[in-house]
Amino acid sequence: MPPFYLIADPALIAARARLLGADVPITETVPAEAKRVFERALPVVPLATRFVDGPGRPDPANAAGIIEAIDRAVDDCLGGRAAAVVTCPIAKKPLYDAGFRFPGHTVHTGAQAMPVMMLAGPELRTVPVTIHIALREVPRALTTDLIVATARITAADLEHRFGIAKPRLAVAGLNPHAGEGGAMGAEDERIIRPAVERLRAEGIDAFGPLPADTLFHARARAGYDVALCMYHDQALIPAKALAFDEAVNVTLGLPFIRTSPDHGTAFDIAGKGIARTDSLIAALRLARRLADVGTKAAAA
């Protein structure tokens, strides 16, 4: 396991350990000392904000602490005190109730950039072009420029952070059968195909639009490095079906590395000691791998 530190309320972490009966030594520290502390204890960099402890019960009173933790983690990365940010799942509604103005912490971390969500698993990477909007809003939100911008960021990060020399981007259609030549919707020919043509003219190996119902079987996956999907579930359903416990949410297009588990908060099992840690561990390991790739590239 790569060394890491928590930015958290130490009292909350200690209380959760006691609740679960976990014998976890906890040491308050600062980022510069975290690696040394990690060899003997869980390093916790204390927040200025204390948390209300209530497993499974989200509380708007904790919103300030959550936002502080995200901001400080990003600052540590940008300041060279950490190599990557790994965020845990958050409940958005309490943040909204407390006045949080972003649609989620992925967008918050990338407020000065265009963040792109990628689900990365052992067998599949997917990127949704539109994310947390209602399905009926997707055709209105989808534009050629948005697809091109998303694909550019995806291709650049796959090359520079994942070490893929010439990323292959499979672009999914929006409608059944990728529109069937316009018989099942005009968006595929009017919006998506021009985006693919622009990307290819720029030297990006993109192809499509492709019918989504045949895009994710094993033989198809062998032909691309990432699937660019038009909406949230088109990207997340295959990614989670193939690797629910191993997939990682990676934010592309940021000036730092950010990963996260691909699942939600699971309040129904909070505090019971039965939640699986696989995706969080995978997020930590992928963050380390991406940091190592960046270090090697910088040294080359």
- Asked whether residue 4 falls in the same domain as residue 37, the answer is yes
Cα–Cα dist 125/280, whole Å: 17
Mean pLDDT of the chain: 90
Range of the structural domain that residue 37 is part of: 1-112+263-275
**Residue 209 main-chain phi, psi, to 5 deg:** -70, 145
pLDDT tens profile 192-245: 999 999 999 999 999 999 999 999 999 999 999 999 999 999 999 999 999 988
- Asked whether residue 54 falls in the same domain as residue 105, the answer is yes
pLDDT tens profile 141-167: 999 999 999 999 999 999 999 999 999
C-beta atoms surrounding 225 within 10 Å:
19
Query: Could you tell me which residues come within 8 angstroms of residue 237 by beta carbon, excluding any fewer than 6 positions away?
Result: none
Distance set, CA 283 to CA 172, 178, 227, 294 (Å): 26, 33, 20, 16
The predicted model scores a pTM of 0.86
pLDDT tens profile 127-139: 999 998 999 999 9
Report the number of distinct structural domains present in the chain.
Answer: 2
Cα–Cα dist 289/84, whole Å: 10
Cα–Cα dist 106/149, whole Å: 17
**Residue 79 reports pLDDT greater than 90:** yes
Q: Within a domain: residue 300?
A: no
Q: Within a domain: residue 172?
A: yes
